[in-house]
């Protein structure tokens, strides 16, 4: 290993453990030493510096390849002829890891900074910072793990820190409930994840990603089991990244402090699911990828439709997050690997910015979150407003922003997928969401910042947030522009992220791939899904047979389509909410059933309440009944039986045993009564008996 590799790995270990050290310090000495929050923030900025160094070294000097540090953790039971049980774990840095390190530490340190202002008067201020540090540690652990087991452990640690931070204001019932909901819903996905790990481990006897891929490439795990393993591992991502059907926890998680929403529930933790899919990407079969693509598309569409109707500023952003995560998953599923990951990076910046911006608004409005009571804030909070506009343009996919670059490449990928598979549902959903996204984001901006103030009292007191809160916004707004990623605002392919994050080669057997997934043509003789078998779609040429080619063909069509839709969405928002050409209320009335359906979030909570929760409660009640009646019945029956048996044996004891004893006593008494007569106490009687005895003896022994 070269010296630079060692340096980078050592730095990575430092990046991982610095936040943990901060957490320990704050938890144990937070009350004794003042202003430890500054130390924690300083630690995060140090981690950020290290991460930046690692990323620059890794991507721009070492380019591709993986730095790996593996050690043997468990080695037991190895004897001759039996391999025993061996577990290797460690850390690894490749380009994805390096970028994720920067994303996590950057957002985390900005959120630390922002929290100085936002959480200033909090009663558990130090504990809040401690948990932030703990979260950063866990998240960095996920990013750095080179094996799926360690990743799972950090995965759960992230879950617990999310739970702790959602329930930070646990005096509020809704907050503690939301924490529990997030934790339990995540658990559902994690069970699938763990079963997936077990399938992989039992078949391949390793948890290292490199070992897993090697084993699958060697054909040790294939067929339906491989597809199942891929989908089960994806279940973990469904939970963490709030994909349909486990998306219900994320909107509720907004009960936590807004900076936490920015860090955990928008930028980093929810992206962990996407990161997981990216990590295990080579082992996903064609079927698994198709499932992933559909889940992503459905999630993106579903969440976007709900976001249109919500009035809580954070709820809109939460559904927007789910929708964007759906985009990333969709991107990975259709094969646009680099685009999906690129969107993760850009989304982390602009969505964290949106949440911090909403935090700034909520802070100014004295913890008012209902957009219907805002309005006109543009004049009072110019910095927040302009940052917000940049973030919204970025998420809507308007040129010259980072969101345009990443989102456009995902949509291009989706269109390419449609061309190759002949299945246009996914691209249609994807493009539909572009319109919806632009609409709900500008609805939010107009309702919050434009027009006349609707709550004059709160408006009078609103003012621009302090510098610790606006600086992170400005930084994130800058990072939402295209220049940080590429110098050509219309070419996502030229960005360094897309160049350094190369779609890994699939290791699954050729028959289980979709054939066209590779960027270059491959021999398709043995592949079932050749284009020839696909239905003819319009006048589409059949010459498109592999992904790279399809991507190129669809590029300009896709870009034009997404731009048109995004502008239409913004226009629609302005027509309805700014110029009021169409009355929003009348519109609502005219499509009332649909509106109600969307306002109630597709009735998912009610559905789960009626099925899963009620089912669980029903089963619990049935078990309680079983416990109360059958088990207790058996116990009580056993008790009653024992009592009966005891009373029987008591009776036996009383009548038979005691009877025998008493009888012998009575008999003895009787005998005594009889014999007592002989014992008269009169010597003369004795003499008679003695004489009789002598006579008997005399006659008995007389010898005739």
Partner 1 sequence: MNLHVGLTDFLVVSAILFSLGIYGVVTRKNAIMVLMGIELILNSANLNFVAFTRFGLMNLTGQVIALFVIILAAAEAAILLAIVLNIHQQLDTVNVDEVDKLKN
Contacts to partner 1 by CB under 8 A: 681-684, 687-688, 691
Nearest to 458 by CA among 554, 321, 362, 378: 362
CB of 680 to partner 1, least distance (A): 9
Of 591 and 690, CB closest to partner 1: 690
Q: Which residues pair with 89 in a beta bridge?
A: 71
User: Checking phi first, is residue 451 left (phi over 0); if not, alpha (psi -120 to 50) or beta?
Assistant: left
Task: Please state the closest distance from residue 669 (CB atom) to partner 1, in A.
Answer: 19
Closest CB to partner 1 among residues 535, 681 = 681
Residue holding tokens 């632009």? 438
Residue 582 vs 692, nearer CB to partner 1: 692
Residue closer to partner 1 by CB (options 61, 683) is 683
> CA distances (Å), 385 to each of 29, 382, 440, 667, in order?
39, 5, 16, 112
Question: Using an 8 Å Cβ cutoff, are 92 and 68 in contact?
Answer: yes
Q: How far is the CB of 648 from partner 1 (least distance, A)?
A: 46
Q: Which is nearer to partner 1, 646 or 679 (CB)?
A: 679
Kindly state the smallest distance separating residue 689's Cβ from partner 1, in Å: 10
Beta bridge pairs of residue 86: 75
* 173 alpha carbon, distance to own chain's centre: 22
Contact 553, 544 (CB under 8 A): yes
Q: Please enumerate in sequence order all residues whose Cβ is within 8 A of that of 15, keeping only pairs 6 or more positions apart, or say none.
A: 47, 50, 51, 54, 101, 105, 140, 144
Residue 683 or 700: the one with the smaller Cβ distance to partner 1 is 683
State in angstroms the smallest separation of the CB of 695 from partner 1.
11
In the three-class reduction of DSSP (H, G, I as helix; E, B as strand; rest coil), residue 1 is classed as coil
Which is closer to partner 1, CB of 456 or CB of 673? Answer: 673
Half-sphere exposure of 62 (CA within 13 A, CB side): 22
Token pair of 334, please? 């259709």
> Could you tell me the smallest distance in angstroms from the CB atom of residue 703 to partner 1?
18
Give residue for tokens 């995004």.
Answer: 566
Would you list the DSSP string of 193-207?
HHHHHHHHHHHHS--
Closer to partner 1 at the Cβ: 541 or 703? Answer: 703
Closest by alpha carbon to 395, among 562, 551, 577? Answer: 562
Closer of 575 and 695 to partner 1 (Cβ): 695
Whole-angstrom distance, CA of residue 137 vs CA of residue 635 = 50
Complex with partner 1: residue 510 or 688, whichever CB lies closer: 688
Distance CA 473, CA 354 (A): 8
Shortest gap between Cβ of 700 and partner 1 (angstroms)? 19
Integer angstrom CA distances of residue 403 from 104, 482, 553, 569: 18, 8, 22, 16
145 backbone dihedrals φ, ψ, rounded to 5°: -55, 140
Residues pairing with 98 in the sheet: none
Q: Is 502 left (phi over 0), alpha (psi -120 to 50) or beta?
A: beta
Q: Please list the helix, strand and coil fractions of the chain in percent, rounded to the nearest 5, in that order.
A: 75, 5, 20
Considering the complex, state which of residue 624 and residue 694 has its C-beta at the smaller distance from partner 1. 694
Distance of closest approach, residue 682 Cβ to partner 1, in angstroms = 6
Whole-number minimum distance, CB 685 to partner 1, in Å?
Answer: 8
Say how many C-beta atoms besides its own lie within 10 A of residue 417's C-beta: 32
Q: For residue 61, report the phi and psi dihedrals to the nearest 5 degrees.
A: -115, -45
Nearer to partner 1, 538 or 681 (CB): 681
Q: Indicate the SS3 state at residue 668.
A: helix
**Closest to partner 1 by CB, 615 or 693:** 693
Q: Identify which of residues 649 and 680 has a Cβ nearer to partner 1 in the complex.
A: 680
Q: Which tokens belong to 120?
A: 């200033």
Phi, psi of 427 (to 5 degrees): -65, -35
For the record, the structure tokens of 105 come out as 């530490």
Q: How far is the CB of 698 from partner 1 (least distance, A)?
A: 12
Contact criterion met (CB below 8 Å) for 285 and 227: yes
Q: Could you tell me the smallest distance in angstroms from the CB atom of residue 662 to partner 1? A: 27
Q: Which is nearer to partner 1, 33 or 688 (CB)?
A: 688
State the nearest-atom distance from the C-beta of 657 to partner 1, in Å: 35
Shortest separation between residue 676's beta carbon and partner 1, angstroms: 12
CB of 675 to partner 1, least distance (A): 16
Beta-bridged to residue 370, according to DSSP, are 312
Roughly how many angstroms between the first and final C-alpha of the chain, as a whole number? Answer: 129
| Contact yes or no for 252/246 (Cβ under 8 A) | no
Closer residue to partner 1 in complex, CB, 661/691: 691
Least distance CB 681 / partner 1 (angstroms): 5
Phi, psi of 589 (to 5 degrees): -65, -40
CB of 672 to partner 1, least distance (A): 16
Going from the C-alpha of 266 to that of each of 167, 173, 271, 319, 547, the distances in angstroms are 17, 23, 8, 10, 30
């Amino acid at each position: 290993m070269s010296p630079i590799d060692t340096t980078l790995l050592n730095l990575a270990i430092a990046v991982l453990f610095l936040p943990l050290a901060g957490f320990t310090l704050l938890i144990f000495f937070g009350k004794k030493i003042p202003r430890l929050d500054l130390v924690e923030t300083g630690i995060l900025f140090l981690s950020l510096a290290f991460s930046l160094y690692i990323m620059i070294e890794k991507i721009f000097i070492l380019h591709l390849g993986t730095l790996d540090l593996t050690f043997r953790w468990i080695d037991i039971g190895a004897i001759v002829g039996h391999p025993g049980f061996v577990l290797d774990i460690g850390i690894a840095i490749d380009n994805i890891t390096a970028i994720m390190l920067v994303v996590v530490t950057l957002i985390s340190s900005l959120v630390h900074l922002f929290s100085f202002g936002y959480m200033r008067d909090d009663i558990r201020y130090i504990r809040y910072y401690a948990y932030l540090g703990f979260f950063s540690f866990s998240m960095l652990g996920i990013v750095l793990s080179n094996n799926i087991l360690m990743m799972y452990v950090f995965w759960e640690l992230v879950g617990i820190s999310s739970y702790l931070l959602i329930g930070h204001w646990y005096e509020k019932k809704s907050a503690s409930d939301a924490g529990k909901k997030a934790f339990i819903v995540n658990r559902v996905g994690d069970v699938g994840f763990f079963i997936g790990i077990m399938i992989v481990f039992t078949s391949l006897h390793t948890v290292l990603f490199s070992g897993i891929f090697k084993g699958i490439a060697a054909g040790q795990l294939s067929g339906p089991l491989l597809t199942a393993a891929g989908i089960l591992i994806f279940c973990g991502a469904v939970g963490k990244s709030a994909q349909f059907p486990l998306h219900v926890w994320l909107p509720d998680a907004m009960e936590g402090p807004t900076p936490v929403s920015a860090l955990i529930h928008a930028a980093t933790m929810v992206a962990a699911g996407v990161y997981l899919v990216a990590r295990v990407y080579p082992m996903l079969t064609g079927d698994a990828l198709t499932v992933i693509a559909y889940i992503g598309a459905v999630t993106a569409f579903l969440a976007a439709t709900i976001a249109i109707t919500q009035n809580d500023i954070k709820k809109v952003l939460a559904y927007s997050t789910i929708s964007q995560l759906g985009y990333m998953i969709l991107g990975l599923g259709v094969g646009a690997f680099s685009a999906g990951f690129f969107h993760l990076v850009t989304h982390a910046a602009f969505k964290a910015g949106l949440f911090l911006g909403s935090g700034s608004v909520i802070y100014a409005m004295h913890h008012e979150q209902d957009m219907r009571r805002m309005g006109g804030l543009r004049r009072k909070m110019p910095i927040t407003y302009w940052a917000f506009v940049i973030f919204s343009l970025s998420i809507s996919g308007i040129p010259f922003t980072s969101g345009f670059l990443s989102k456009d490449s995902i949509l291009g990928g989706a269109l390419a997928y449609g061309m190759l598979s002949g299945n246009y549902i996914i691209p249609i959903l994807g493009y539909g969401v572009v319109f919806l996204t632009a609409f709900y984001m500008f609805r939010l901006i107009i309702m919050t910042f434009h027009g006349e103030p609707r709550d004059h009292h709160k408006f009078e007191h609103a003012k621009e947030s302090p510098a610790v809160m606006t600086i992170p916004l400005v930084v994130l707004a800058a990072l939402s522009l295209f220049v940080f990623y590429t110098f050509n605002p219309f070419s996502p392919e030229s960005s360094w992220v897309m160049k350094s994050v190369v779609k890994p080669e699939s290791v699954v057997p050729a028959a289980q791939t979709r054939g066209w997934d590779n960027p270059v043509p491959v021999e398709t003789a043995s592949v079932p899904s050749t284009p020839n078998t696909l239905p003819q779609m319009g006048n589409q040429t059949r010459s498109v047979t592999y992904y790279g080619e399809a991507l190129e063909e669809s590029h300009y069509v896709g870009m034009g389509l997404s731009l048109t839709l995004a502008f239409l969405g913004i226009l629609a928002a302005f027509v309805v909410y700014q110029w009021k050409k169409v009355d929003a209320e009348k519109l609502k009335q005219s499509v009332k059933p649909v509106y109600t359906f969307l306002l109630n979030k597709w009735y998912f909570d009610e559905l789960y309440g009626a099925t899963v929760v009620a089912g669980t409660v029903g089963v619990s009640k049935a078990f309680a009944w079983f416990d109360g009646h059958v088990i207790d019945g058996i116990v009580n029956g056993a008790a009653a039986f024992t009592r009966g048996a005891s009373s029987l044996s008591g009776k036996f004891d009383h009548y038979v045993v005691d009877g025998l004893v008493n009888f012998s006593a009575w008999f003895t008494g009787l005998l005594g009564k009889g014999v007592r007569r002989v014992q008269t106490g009169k010597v003369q009687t004795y003499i008679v008996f003695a004489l009789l005895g002598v006579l008997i003896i005399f006659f008995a022994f007389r010898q005739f």
